[in-house]
Structure 1
């Protein structure tokens, strides 16, 4: 193997290595995007559950708040009935105290539920921020992946063209064209030679007849023209 072929083979090997190394980022990017999409789906699911829990706590807080107001109204009504003598005062006081206790417990529960709901709402905002970041990252990397794929296609096309160029036998092509040119020149010369031979092969009688025939034709043409001129005169 001569030195030129060795260099070409070495170049090919290095080029394949470069392309192989260049394809690795594509595979890694595709894998990364798939993982980010899986994370995104998981976070969206978690956010939905978190928001549902936050809404539930908020609704429970509103319900407890209504309950606290109802217990307070009942305590007021009991006191009013006792003052009017409609119910026993001691019994009314006992029940009013119990109602007020339940009102206080409901208010405490309202505060706790509101605190939980606000914390969950804050967690939802943080998770929404993570989801937005993931969406932006996925969009960015998908764009990068398209660019990377385009670069790979261009590099592969360039590699194939350059590879074909290294395989072109310039010297052999030129030699073949020279041989073709020489063959055409030879055929043209042979055609001319055959024409001269065909002319040289005529007999003396054939040459005389050809000239006489030519002269008869010319004389006939002249006679016809003469007759036409006399008719006009």
Structure 2
């Protein structure tokens, strides 16, 4: 219990120092919560045992009270029989006196059992209050531990990113990108050069044939022009 209080009193300098020395505060906090849950189980068992004693004391009180009333009624009946002549007065007085003695003993037992019942009822009520408080604290600490674990994850990730960013040399990165850009441009120029070299070339015969074909035209084209009444240069002739 004391260990867990040290873990969660974050406003205390001693608690911060203790946590800083721990190899893994989160695991130790989880273990502390498990220990508290074990204490809670033990407290619940103790509460059940106290309630059993309280219930037994209550039954003893009721039983002793009933016995005291019964002995009182018996003593009254004995005296009534002596008064009616059914029983000798001396014998009735003797038996009634013994009955009253038993009544007194029963009443004493009832008072003792009642005192035990009240004591164990108070103990049970106090244990129930403490158990409820312990449950509330465990829930609070579990929620706080969840929050701390989430914050620890975010802090670790942020620290990692910041460390990586701090290790980045911007001038070196820019220089590397410039080198890469120059290399890509050279590769593109080389590729274009190879493309030009791969284009098909025309031989001298191809060029001669091309010149003759464009100047002479074809017979079908001349026939079509004549049909349309066009000159060789594409203008309409006077005959049309």
TM-score between the two structures when normalised by the length of structure 1 = 0.75
Q: Does 1:95 align with 2:95?
A: yes
Unmatched segments (≥5 aa) in structure 2: 1-18, 230-240
| Distance in structure 1 (CA, Å) of the matches to 2:79 and 2:219 | 156
Question: Are 1:54 and 1:121, in contact at CA under 8 Å, matched by a contact in 2?
Answer: yes
Alignment of 1:49-64 (within 5 A): 49-64=49-64
Size of the aligned set, in residue pairs, is: 211
Corresponding residue for residue 7 of structure 2: none
2:183 paired with 1:208: no
Deviates more, 1:26-35 or 1:217-226: 217-226
Q: What is the alpha-carbon distance in structure 2 between the residues aligned to residue 224 and residue 125 of structure 1?
A: 125
Once the two structures are TM-superposed, the CA of residue 117 in structure 1 deviates from its matched residue by 0.8
Distance 1:142 1:199, change over 3 A: closer
Q: State the 1:110 CA deviation.
A: 1.2
Q: Does 1:34 align with 2:27?
A: no
Q: Which residue of 2 aligns with 1:135?
A: 135
Deviations along 1:184-216, one digit per CA (max 9) or x if unpaired, are 322333344456667796444333334555x38
Gapped regions of structure 1 (runs ≥ 5) = 1-18
Which stretch has the larger CA shift, 163-172 or 192-201? Answer: 192-201
CA separation of 1:174/1:112 partners in 2, compared to 1, >3 Å: closer, same or farther?
Answer: same
Other structure's SS at 2:87 match: coil
Between the aligned partners of 1:23 and 1:221, the Cα distance in structure 2 is: 100
Is the counterpart of residue 178 in structure 1 residue 178 in structure 2?
Answer: yes
d(CA) in 2 for partners of 1:161, 1:152: 14
Shift of the 143–22 alpha-carbon distance from structure 1 to 2, 3 Å rule, reads: farther
More helix by share: 1
TM-score (normalised: structure 2): 0.73
